[in-house]
Amino acid sequence: MTHYPAVSLKRGKEESVLRRHPWIFSGAVKSLPPGLAEGDTVSVLASDGTPLGTGYYQIGSIAVRMYSFSARTIDTAFFCHRIAAALRLRRALGLVREDNNALRLVHGEGDRLPGLVVDLFGATAVVQAHTVAMHRQRQAVADALKDVLGDALHAVYYKSEGTLPFKANTGAKDGYLLGGEEEGGEADSVALENGLRFRIDWLEGQKTGFFVDQRDNRDLLRRYAQGRNVLNMCCYTGGFSVYALAGGAERVCSVDSSSRAVELTDENVRLNFPDTDRHEAVEADAFRFLQDGGAKKYDLVVLDPPAFAKHRDAVPQALRGYTRLNELALRHMPAGSLLFTFSCSQAVSRQQFRLAVFTAAARTRRHVSILHQLTQPADHPVSIYHPEGEYLKGLVLYVE
């Protein structure tokens, strides 16, 4: 067992660790060992010296994130153990199938690997570090992935420029290979989700290149799309658009402010429906598009904007943004329409989001009912001890 420098907690501050909350705030720390560097592995001790587990040190309001609530050596074997458990869960969930190979394999705290995200797209893994410790562990993570997945894994990409704390100044370059070989062939960069095909751009795409977290919600939309005119706002790689076409939508319009997203959406539509004339993609700002009455022609609208609040201070402004966006859609949609509306801001609670959408509905003075309350899928698990892991919220509304 490797011996790690000890972080001691103040008296009475061990409570949340004993309840298996994986974060220790800086106010709970009595003393830090001298010379501790960000990302170092530490042993956590209660004020009376009782060992509480193994974690890593971080600069900022969260001082320690826990790897384990017991004494552990943090090495490739440890990552193998955690990743194998994560893979077992995904297999049990039925997500590793012939017709589905895009999934989140590691979801940070929910898989007991705080600060680490791994998405799997067929034979390619994309690793994302949200903390300096996970950045420093990236090679051990890649080695563990190779060990657990064996021949099923051809390449491991590392993509953390957008997620590492700015202060970390790690000089991390984005989209480089941690292991395996560059994926060259066309087939290699196409992933399958519920039988539908998506090209993933692991080098330049946002986050890990594709949002796997909307899988179940897209599938729900597919069930309602028959004969509808669908507007997919903030389409990114066109997930909802492809499902809408698969569900028999009459017409689909995809909107995004990024020209690259518009291209990717067009490409993914062509990949699944080479000859369709039911789809168009438009480069536009969502607010402006809706302000000009853009929702008038559509009886199924998706609003899936980026996280408006990246931290707590931005919540009030984010809520105003959600209210405004939803109001602009609800005001113009014809009677009998469906609205799929989402927030992926972790800092915005489910209740706050619902209140923002309620405010939007109330302003339009229309009759609006909630048909479904949506969340993130099962490959984005939330530790019951860490409610902060819940971030995706959605409502399906019926507008009369």
User: Would you tell me which residues interact with ligand SAH (CB under 6 A)?
Assistant: 211, 214, 234-237, 239-240, 256-258, 261, 285-286, 304-306
Least Å distance, CB 306 to ligand SAH, is 4
DSSP secondary-structure letter at 206?
A: S
State which H helix or E strand residue 175 sits in.
none
Residue among 96, 98, 54 nearest 75 (CA): 54
CB 289 within 8 A of CB 282: yes
**Cβ distance to ligand SAH smaller for residue 179 or 321:** 321
CB 134 within 8 A of CB 116: yes
**Cβ distance to ligand SAH smaller for residue 58 or 341:** 341
Helix, strand, or coil (residue 43): strand
In this structure, the chain runs to a length of: 400
Least Å distance, CB 65 to ligand SAH, is 26
Residue 235 annotated in active site: no
Least Å distance, CB 80 to ligand SAH, is 31
Please give the full DSSP string across 311-342, using - where no structure is assigned: SGGGHHHHHHHHHHHHHHHHHHSPTTEEEEEE
**Those residues with Cβ within 8 angstroms of residue 116's Cβ, 6 or more apart along the chain or in another chain:** 106, 108, 127, 128, 129, 130, 134, 137, 141
C-alpha distance from residue 83 to each of 20, 90, 130, 142, 384 (Å): 19, 11, 17, 11, 19
**Cβ distance to ligand SAH smaller for residue 31 or 317:** 317
Residue among 267, 148, 125 nearest 208 (CA): 125
Least Å distance, CB 258 to ligand SAH, is 4
CB 338 within 8 A of CB 398: yes
Least Å distance, CB 348 to ligand SAH, is 15
CA distance 197 to 83: 26
**Cβ distance to ligand SAH smaller for residue 157 or 340:** 340
Least Å distance, CB 89 to ligand SAH, is 23
For β-strands 279-283 and 41-45, DSSP reports them as: unpaired
**Cβ distance to ligand SAH smaller for residue 237 or 337:** 237
**Cβ distance to ligand SAH smaller for residue 141 or 255:** 255
Amino acid sitting at position 250: E
CB 60 within 8 A of CB 29: no
**Cβ distance to ligand SAH smaller for residue 123 or 284:** 284
C-alpha distance from residue 4 to each of 13, 57, 60, 131, 201 (Å): 20, 11, 21, 19, 39
**Cβ distance to ligand SAH smaller for residue 136 or 331:** 331
CB 74 within 8 A of CB 93: no
Least Å distance, CB 200 to ligand SAH, is 11
DSSP secondary-structure letter at 70?
A: S
Residues catalogued as catalytic: 344
